């Protein structure tokens, strides 16, 4: 019986170590992805906070209130999308 208990304890420890390794790998992958996807880039002569190379908020917008920042981010995204599509919206 002692052999079976030792095997059971060993398997339990191995499973726990595997879960911990997988969790650490997931955290490392997310950190890597955040560095690849969130950047500061130049767009139309101004530096923007970008996600996947899409300009969202101009650098000076980081000190604005949330509603203003959100409105500007949406406008910047629309301008980028229009430029990417090769047309200007008629507003």
Q: What is the pLDDT of residues 12-71, one digit of tens each?
A: 999 999 999 999 999 999 889 888 888 999 988 989 999 888 888 889 888 999 999 889
Coil, strand or helix at 46: strand
25 burial type by CB count under 10 A (0-12 exposed, 13-18 middle, 19+ buried): exposed
Q: Is the pTM of this model over 0.85?
A: no
| Greater pLDDT, 13 or 76 | 13
> Would you list the domain boundaries of the chain?
2-85
- CA 55/CA 82 separation, integer angstroms: 12
Q: What is the pLDDT of residues 47-61, one digit of tens each?
A: 999 988 888 888 988
pLDDT attached to residue 91: 47
């Amino acid at each position: 019986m002692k052999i079976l208990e030792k095997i059971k304890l060993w398997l339990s420890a191995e499973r726990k170590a595997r879960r911990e390794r997988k969790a650490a790998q997931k955290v490392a992958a997310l950190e890597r992805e955040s560095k690849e996807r969130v950047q500061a880039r130049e767009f139309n002569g101004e530096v923007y906070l970008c996600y996947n190379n899409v300009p969202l908020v101009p650098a000076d917008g980081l000190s604005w209130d949330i509603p203003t920042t959100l409105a500007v981010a949406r406008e910047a995204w629309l301008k980028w999308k229009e430029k990417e599509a090769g047309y200007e919206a008629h507003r």
